[in-house]
Structure 1
């Protein structure tokens, strides 16, 4: 199939850019130094490429992602970096020989892990982002509680997500150091071998964690692109111009095809005005102006929720569609 034969809107990933991104990150964080976060792409076909690059442990955001990786034969070491109150589905994976670890930050989540049949946990520590995680000074107590419940505490994790898009690298490094000081102090109280943290925005400055949970680097988006990192935009939402007026054009890519939580998308050589349910309205700088039927590549500002809106990733090389990968980690239910 040719790219211009695809039904739009469609997710397309340029093979060369994806390969560049995977190899660039592997060179920076080889092997177990990187625990790729699959929430960014939700695609076991892409996870297999990360696995082939030597990354045999993965980070997940949902039980469904853990299940899909295990079913794909990628269950060597799976971390659910999220609190859950019903771990029975994960316990069944453990029974079948997969290694599953859960993040816990309370007595309730510790009890859920134990009752669900999961034997290994990380103590989730709040390092400055007001989301999940216990206060650093509570980490040791929770680790003791987990061990009394019969669980193995592998270490700690903390997500400095509030720092991912800090523009100045020196400032990002400084604030990351402060966050990791808290995590390391908690780790000393907790014990275990793992200090898990980080993401695409801090992978190069976080030298304190011994594994980094980066995910967006593989496909990239405009929010991370602004940081000047060595990764290329690999993923686009392909659309077609469906209407042209004096001064603007409209593509068939809207809110149901991409996420705007990090701002408007971008189109090369154009100014995006706004997005509505099924449309992106833009002003093109090109001469001649776009015509009805022209293809446009829309760069999302945030890939994670954008990918989750689609069933399929189309791997492309210029005008050729090379493969179609199911976005098979979408949703929350078992399949």
Structure 2
């Protein structure tokens, strides 16, 4: 079965983010829709849409469905879905979708809702992903705006947090490009990030949270503050644990999130030295470093913890 559920949470948050509440689906966008319009209210992304590589797939039904009957495939592979209220289901990509690629979404026939309607055939549609703005190993120069923000104070000056998570055009929802580890502005930026995370009472802070879309975050791992430049998750455990998380950019919200119990990572230190294959594992003694790492890493891909509300126990990082 490709759908597993662990929690029911309010649909309002996803609608607030623009991921739900779309107009009723026109069945003509599907291949051979059959009775799809009687069951499916809306789907995102829309058919033939050109989307970002972190685009979530969201399916909303008119009525609650019997979840054991729902099977969804993306590019021919069954995917694990998060649920909001037994009507709305979501898939958050990890890793990111490939650039410049056509993806087919398929809802397998046989899904049944509580009114007794049964989807009488497979329903599918296709969306396309944008070309990558920059290659993962390419670090474009800092923009004038980014430099200006970094230079707006000294190392002891706190940076303002981006907390308008309802604004889909904010830095919170962009995929961040790498940062040049040799940049003359990097030391000051790191100092200001450290000052800011301590001031705001966090244990981790990613560059997009202070208005700069670059692949960098700071975190207190194993009791020590660390800086991670251009990080990557190279492997992870299939087993997961669940825990309530908070976020400085989503003040007041506490969300139950399932994440792998261990990860292997690579990154660069601010002095330019590369780190490969570093292992992080969640234990009570180490304050769940893998979870913290993945939370901050999500920020670099434009994903917030509220995007992961209701995600299943087998969700990927």
Q: TM-score, normalised by structure 1?
A: 0.25
**Which has more helix, going by share of residues?**
1
Greater relative contact order: 1 or 2 (C-alpha under 8 angstroms, separation 6 or more)?
1
